[in-house]
Amino acid sequence: MCKYIVSGGNKIEGKLNIRGAKNSILPIMAATILNENKSIIHNVPNISDVYIMIKILESIGCKVDYEPDTLIIDSSNINSGEIDEEYVRQMRSSIIIMGAMIGRLNYTKISYPGGCAIGSRPIDLHLKALKKLGIKIEEKNGYIKCFKDNLKSATINLEFPSVGATENAILAAIKAKGITKIYNAAREPEIED
């Protein structure tokens, strides 16, 4: 058994630099798709998932510069709605790009995500939320195709407060006319970021 002994009564002082969080940076990077210009993001963590998301963004036509701690993403020339399967299979959270892509384009195609081995985490909540926003979804041969036939605001009642489904719904709803309400939304800090 591990044992910690804390001797209190001493003044705590000093400086600490807090790195950016993976759970925040990836949806922020996905959100840059909705900006048809340059986005500058500071305090970016140097982690493999950031590099995978950079490859995803570049594969659809974004220009990305990654300097120490800073990302500059120019999404003005997005030229593809199809996300490269190679990268999607490497990172489960790549699924959050669907909401932003359908918000920006009329069509997107993405394979089912891969990534970490936390266990089975289906994406049905993501798809149900997007359907509520009027997005037509086809699942076929390991791919998800989304069509922005009638993007509209909606009231979405999530069966479970899924972080990814909440993020996808928010990203897609940004371009919908009207007010979208999401009930039972996730309340993790990265949702507010």
pLDDT at 116: 45
- Per-residue model confidence as pLDDT tens digits over 138-169: 999 889 999 998 999 999 999 999 999 999 99
Distance CA 61, CA 80 (A): 7
- Per-residue model confidence as pLDDT tens digits over 87-142: 888 888 889 999 999 999 989 999 987 644 444 457 899 999 999 999 999 999 88
- Please state the domain count of the chain: 1
CATH number at residue 107: 3.65.10.10
Domain interval for residue 94: 22-116+124-187
1 within some domain = no
Q: Catalytic: which of 2, 62, 116, 146? A: 116
Residue 96: name the closest of 106, 79, 80, 108 by CA: 108
**Known active-site residue 116:** yes
